[in-house]
Amino acid sequence: MTMAWFRTVWCLGSLCLASALRVDDRHPPPCQKEYTCDAQRVNQSAQIQEDRIAVYTYNIGGYEEMRGDHIPCVPSHLDAFLFIDEISQKRFGLTAVKKWQEQGWRVVNFTQVSGTKFVPSSRLTSKSLKFTPPGWLLNGTWQWLVEYDGNIVVDLHRLAPFLQRRREQALVMLNWGYHQDCSDDSFKCFMNEVTSMLTERVEYVARSKENVLKWKELLDQMHQGKLTQGGRIYKPANYYETNVIFRNLQHARADKVRDAFEKTFMKLGCPLASF
């Protein structure tokens, strides 16, 4: 995913597919000052603060390089946590971790969960943090809990105003089709994404290419109505991007979000989830 400005917001009940925050992947932001601890930006951020916000990201198993530049600066009213396991600590060293601490991040040592026959421990641990973070994060005093992947950058100074405008939402996620028009059939976005991983971004699937191909074939047949009951065509209303997730922990439906994410994580040990 290349850098993009997200403008459109779709809301379905208490689910809000939103994107007014800028994120970028592998490409430096156009204005580096936005990712520094510039005093004026910090002060402006503090003045508009109302709700407590916790942010977290992670680097497990040394799967990705530890970000050494464009590390988001943490405003004083926000709590930010970097989860890292022993493998990543040994690979990147104390110097890399210290850069995050200097920007206001709290480093949390995390032990990998056991893998399965189909999904290695490091990948399953990353997914557990994404969908089922530690209870102290979910049960704290924060209004919002924000998770994002370590290979992107989120401007933490913009979080407060962004989330204040969405206080009525239990969950805010990005529409998977933000970068292309899939309004007539969201399955197109899915197929385009998988094809891209198999042909242009082969590092995303690595040794799991065989499973990805099976997964693609299975859902394609379901989309054609070949494997579903009564020939029903598999045509989901929306797909969601999970590289950034905003959870309203004080919302009346927060428990439903938690249950849905726990069910999602429980499915990740299956054969077709090992990509």
Q: What was the pLDDT predicted at 202? A: 78
Q: What is the pLDDT along the chain (275 residues), one digit of tens a residue?
A: 333 333 333 333 334 333 344 444 444 344 344 556 666 666 665 565 568 999 999 999 987 888 888 899 998 889 999 999 999 999 999 999 999 999 999 999 999 999 887 788 888 899 999 999 999 999 999 999 999 998 888 889 889 999 999 999 999 988 765 556 666 677 887 888 888 888 887 777 776 788 888 888 888 888 888 877 777 888 776 677 888 999 999 999 999 999 999 998 988 765 444 43
Backbone angles phi, psi at 130, to 5 degrees: -65, -50
Q: What was the pLDDT predicted at 57? A: 96
CA distance 124 to 122: 6
Q: What was the pLDDT predicted at 263? A: 92
Q: What was the pLDDT predicted at 38? A: 64
Domain boundaries, the chain: 10-178+239-273, 187-231
Q: What was the pLDDT predicted at 233? A: 82
Report the run of H or E that residue 189 belongs to, with start and end. helix 187-199
**How many CB atoms sit inside 10 A of residue 13's CB?**
9
Query: Is the distance from CB of 35 to CB of 153 less than 8 angstroms?
Result: yes
Inter-helix orientation angle 121-131/254-266, to 10°: 170
Q: What was the pLDDT predicted at 181? A: 66
Q: From residue 205, give the alpha-carbon distance in Å to each of 191, 201, 248.
A: 15, 8, 32
CATH code for the structural domain at 10-178+239-273: 3.90.550
CA distance 142 to 150: 22
Is residue 62 packed enough to be buried (19+ CB in 10 Å), middle (13-18) or exposed (0-12)?
middle
Query: Is the distance from CB of 108 to CB of 83 less than 8 angstroms?
Result: yes
Q: What was the pLDDT predicted at 18? A: 39
CA distance 164 to 215: 39
Q: b/e string for 198-209 if b means 16 or more Cβ within 10 A?
A: beeeeeebeebe
